A and B are shown apart, each in its own frame.
Chain A
Amino acid sequence: MIKVSVNGEIKELEEGLNVSQMIEALEYKIKGFAVAVNTTFIPIAKYTDTIIKEGDTIDILAPVQGG
């Protein structure tokens, strides 16, 4: 298991998960979101190639009201 930060919370994940597998493992259900790992945007096309590592900081952002 590895420890990562997801939206500011420490989470334990299996080692070697890619971004798609991480989303599934986190049971993230919001439709329409985007992912950044260590403050770098990860487009959907790169989800399977991007492996989550120990200590990574992950942001999953979804639509909200804005001014």
Chain B
Amino acid sequence: MMKKIETSDDKWEIGGKTLSSRLLIGSALYPSPANMEDAIKISGSQIVTVSLRRQAAGGNEGTGGNQFWDIIKSMGIEVLPNTAGSHSAKEAITTAQMAREVFGTNWIKLEVIGDQYNLQPDPFETVKAAEILIKDGFEVFPYTTDDLVVAKRLADAGCKILMPWGSMIGSGKGLMNPDNLIAIRKQFPDLQLVVDAGIGKPSHATQAMELGYDGVLLNSAIALAQDPVKMADAFRVAVVAGRLGYEAGTMKERAFASPSTPTVGTPFWHQFD
């Protein structure tokens, strides 16, 4: 009997790190910092996204502390700072440089928004920022659409990781264009591909992993669940299931029905069919 494969048996590399979890998780929107901590722990995720914002000079409750950041630091996991809120390459580059100093990592989730309504990334500014940041020594995790040509431009810019969206940020709609995601996977077998944004249910994460994606990044689906901690556990299992399904190789689809029960030896009541 084959040994049951645990999450920790499956190692992968991204951004120069070897990790066992293929689930990247956001740190925003949880009911409380304690709930965030519990959810991240049970998810098994080893990469957590964070951000930078203006804050009151006195810090939380005037203590100068930052409870959220203290929790993340204590967890000993990789942080992936984002450039959320940037609308130009210049803004994203400045935010990335600030993040590198604050968080002590050259990883950056490059996010340059081109439209406020659907929060679609701006492909032109994203590519421009990626080129400059890579030359400056950053490991760029670009948030992009599922457009194959934009993916090519990002790869040409030197990105080793691509993060096409499943659907709009925070929409929970799942994978809008699986065929586009498949095309990107086929075109870039050697890049690390992570579906980022739009995932709402564990089954969406499983689907992304079954397509051969290396990981999924999500936040709202866990943080906005009725029970974020239980949902984090569900996503942990879903990502493992999808990966195992991909590795096992799914059956080929058929246009017609085909019985799974043997037809030889069918009982007498069918002998005149």
Contacts and interface: CB of A to CB of B under 8 A. Distances in A.
Contacts of A34: 52, 97-99, 101-102
B90 A63 contact: no
Contacts of A67: 26-29, 49, 51, 82, 84, 169-170, 219-220
B181 interface: no
A39 to B, nearest CB: 6
Contacts of B263: none
Given A62-B52, A65-B28, A30 B64 contact: yes
Interface string B105-148: 00000000000000000000000000000000000000000000
A66 B72 CA distance: 12
Interface string A40-67: 1101100000000000000111111111
Nearest to B69: A63
Nearest to A64: B53
Interface residues of A, number: 27
Contacts, number: 110
Nearest to B219: A67
Interface string B66-109: 10110010000000011010000011001101110111000000
B1 interface: no
Contacts of A65: 26-30, 36, 50-51, 68
A53 to B, nearest CB: 18
Contact of B94 (A29, A31, A36, A63): A36
Given A29-B57, A32-B69, A44-B101, A66 B94 contact: no
B57 A28 contact: yes
Contacts of B65: 31
B267 interface: no
Contacts of B53: 61-62, 64
Most buried by B among A31, A33, A67: A67
Nearest to A7: B54
B64 A31 contact: yes
Contacts of A60: 54-55, 57
Given A62-B66, A63-B66, A67-B169, A43 B101 contact: yes
A67 to B, nearest CB: 4
Nearest to A60: B54
Nearest to A23: B57
A26 interface: yes
A26 B57 CA distance: 7
A62 B91 CA distance: 16
B59 interface: yes
B17 to A, nearest CB: 19
A7 B169 CA distance: 26
Nearest to A11: B57
Nearest to B217: A67
Interface string B30-64: 10000010000000000001111111011100001
Interface of A: 7-8, 26-36, 39-41, 43-44, 59-67
Interface of B: 26-30, 36, 49-55, 57-59, 64-66, 68-69, 72, 81-82, 84, 90-91, 94-95, 97-99, 101-103, 169-170, 219-220
